[in-house]
Chains A and B, each alone.
Chain A
């Protein structure tokens, strides 16, 4: 059952003449875990931003669940079932952990009257369950800014999970985190994928993390797609080795 869930076709994006992403094709299939790797500055985050419509693409098209969403607003994509985390953590530091979760709440008003509705008790219960799942439940009343870096990353994952998305894009979710917590994150991602069928697209520097989780990996280099394949294929790919270690 190879069903494309999120698809970028010929995506190009440049900033003031500097091409950050060049004609990249990327397809993520329903239920899989895909890795996106590449040296610093190779355009991984920019590609993420394009895929979730935070940055308008210069050229190319984006499809999500079979619909052309190239012109969509990020909030529309989010409501269709796409969630992401950010390399530079975006949490609400002056708000409590629970409030952060509620901001990313499950139902989302589309119409005028919906935005005045209050979240159901169900939403709060879900927030608390997710916090428990991510080992943060003892901190629900704490200000998010007081959390450690790793806990903040976990909270961001929790916020991404709140609306029960179909696909989650993780941008360096393990950077600056201690190994124990990395294992926790890895474990949780596996559970979400295997028990709940969630799809993941994961940007990582930590190659082991990727090869433990992902069945397919895409390698970016200077904005271009260098290779795509299983982790083992990638590890032995000449062009990839050259890009990472050569000259």
Chain B
């Protein structure tokens, strides 16, 4: 007999913790992080925490389209780069003769929106294709955009890059990224519980079935990608501001996408709490590796990736039985099958 007949009370109790446990922990954690700067912390510690928030945000966004919808985006950094360059251009250049230079807060939403528009126009074409074509088209877009940025020298500074106004405000940066991360992860938590999220998972698990049940799959995928691109663009814009310098090579970095994928995979593809968990673990590992084996940084990441695929393809939360997770291997199989 396969079916276990739990008494109703038991199931409901379990589902209460499953439903709200993550959110309660998350709110407690956010509360602690909001107070963290008031403990005795150094600027470097604040900076490190900001980097982790950024990784959480980027990975969560990647996970929305890659993990939950099942469309593996190998070029997601393009949205980060477009956001960064929009920030760089708008605050240092005056691209339109009549328009003045903008401030950070003015440039920020524009950076997000431009990334979103790029996502919608790209997705319009590529999301109709089989999953593997989408992945490769995104990788191509990423590489092509980097070259375009290099060529558009008058606007982007070309290979020499752009210098942004130097501002050092570690505390402000900390709270900004904390807020963005809080918005992104909470939104994804909400999406996962909404009908929209259920439809995304349905698309991932069986796109033809979803389509036949009346789900407008193209529109759903497009919206997921657009949301992911918007917040990735915002994060890129912030990064440009924080780093005070951008050029094509530091912005359009392949390893940024690798980090998003690895973080999601480590925590659990398709889960809400996987990317935050994965980011903390990955950042800690990277910190140890950075300080001890500086030259072998990428090698260590590669080894970790192989380890994950071989021994823990479902990630930490997948191992713990989170139902929205999908193992990396199954994701790749779906990637091939999808029409």
Contact = CB atoms under 8 A, between A and B. Distances in A.
Interface of A: 52, 54, 73-75, 78-79, 83-84, 86, 90-92, 94-95, 99, 102-105, 108-110, 112, 115-119, 139, 141-142, 146-148, 159, 162-163
Interface stretch (B32-40, B67-75, B151-159, B200-208): B200-208
Contacts of A147: 3
B255 interface: no
A172 B213 CA distance: 18
A115 B199 contact: yes
Given A146-B2, A146-B3, A74 B196 contact: no
Contacts, number: 85
Contact of B212 (A84, A95, A102, A115): A84
A166 B205 CA distance: 27
Interface of B is mostly: helix
A90 B202 CA distance: 11
18 contacts: A52-B212, A73-B216, A73-B218, A74-B211, A75-B212, A78-B212, A86-B212, A90-B209, A92-B201, A92-B205, A103-B210, A103-B213, A103-B215, A108-B215, A115-B216, A118-B194, A118-B195, A146-B2
Contact of A115 (B11, B196, B210): B196
B123 to A, nearest CB: 13
B223 A94 contact: no
Chain A to chain B: the 4 pairs with minimum beta-carbon distance, closest first: A78-B214, A90-B209, A104-B213, A108-B214
Interface residues of B, number: 27
Contacts of A112: 219, 223
Contacts of B170: none
Contacts of B215: 75, 103, 108
Nearest to A162: B213
A83 B213 CA distance: 7
Interface of B: 2-3, 11, 194-196, 198-199, 201-202, 205-206, 208-220, 223, 323
Nearest to A103: B202
B167 to A, nearest CB: 36
B212 A116 contact: no
Given A92-B209, A118-B195, 18 more contacts: A52-B212, A74-B211, A75-B213, A75-B214, A78-B212, A79-B214, A86-B209, A92-B205, A102-B195, A103-B213, A104-B214, A105-B195, A108-B216, A109-B216, A115-B196, A115-B199, A116-B196, A118-B194
A110 B219 CA distance: 9
Contact of A99 (B3, B198, B218): B198
Kindly name the residue among B196, B205, B210, B214 whose own CB sees the greatest number of chain A CB atoms within 10 A.
B214
Given A92-B206, A139-B3, A141-B11, A119 B214 contact: no
Contacts of B212: 52, 54, 74-75, 78, 83-84, 86, 90
A163 B214 contact: yes
A102 B198 contact: yes
Contacts of B195: 102, 105, 115, 117-119
A78 B202 CA distance: 16
A179 B213 CA distance: 28
Contacts of A109: 216
Nearest to B217: A75
A79 B11 CA distance: 34
Nearest to B15: A141
A73 B211 contact: yes
Given A115-B223, A119-B195, A75 B216 contact: yes
Nearest to B216: A75
A136 to B, nearest CB: 12
A116 B3 CA distance: 34
Contacts of B202: 92, 103
A79 B202 CA distance: 17
A90 B208 contact: yes
Contacts of A90: 206, 208-209, 212
Contacts of B220: 115
A118 B194 CA distance: 6
Nearest to A139: B3
